[in-house]
Amino acid sequence: MQRRQFLAAAGAALLLPAGARAEDGPVRMRDLYNKDLSFSDYAKAMEGRRIAVQGFMAPPLKAESTFFVLTKRPMAVCPFCESEAEWPDDILAVYASRVIDTVPFNVKIVTSGTLELGTYEDPDLGFVSRVRLSNAVYERS
């Protein structure tokens, strides 16, 4: 991310109303799930609210996208899943309100957005997710 892009993203985050910012510091992806991969009590309590999650941006599926996958570990290729049954507990689908500027796959970022739970199939990409952040912003951590 270039300096101007970083400042624009940081400024956008600051311009959000107080209730639209992440309510806690960054959470770990594993805190969203129980051992049986059901949603944790924390995830259920935070559904519809803004949270922040730290991770890595997987390479986007297409150019000029508002979507990316946040991963727990750096990944050189996108962990595209075929169905919700195969959804791993160490990635999040992220939907930004603007076209994303890609960040190298090995640079840690913090993403904040509204937590959404439940199966969703992206109508444009066919990407099926169980958990997502919508109206998201991100910055290098």
Which domains does the chain show, CATH number per domain? 3-140 (2.40.50.140)
With beta carbons less than 8 A apart as the criterion, state whether 70 and 94 touch: yes
41 CB burial (10 A radius; 0-12, 13-18, 19+): exposed
With beta carbons less than 8 A apart as the criterion, state whether 135 and 114 touch: yes
93 CB burial (10 A radius; 0-12, 13-18, 19+): buried
Closest to 80 measured CA to CA, from 65, 66, 64, 91: 91
Q: Given a cut of 80, is residue 141 above it in pLDDT?
A: yes
**Which pTM value belongs to this model?**
0.76
Q: Given a cut of 50, is residue 101 above it in pLDDT?
A: yes
Closest to 74 measured CA to CA, from 54, 93, 58, 96: 58
Could you read off the pLDDT of 23-71 as tens digits, one per residue?
A: 567 999 989 999 888 999 999 999 999 999 999 998 877 778 899 999 8
SS3 32: helix
- What does the mean pLDDT of the chain come to? 79
Cα dihedral angle (72, 75, 77, 79), rounded to 10 degrees? -20
With beta carbons less than 8 A apart as the criterion, state whether 111 and 70 touch: yes
Closest to 92 measured CA to CA, from 64, 66, 111, 65: 111
Question: What's the pLDDT score for residue 104?
Answer: 92
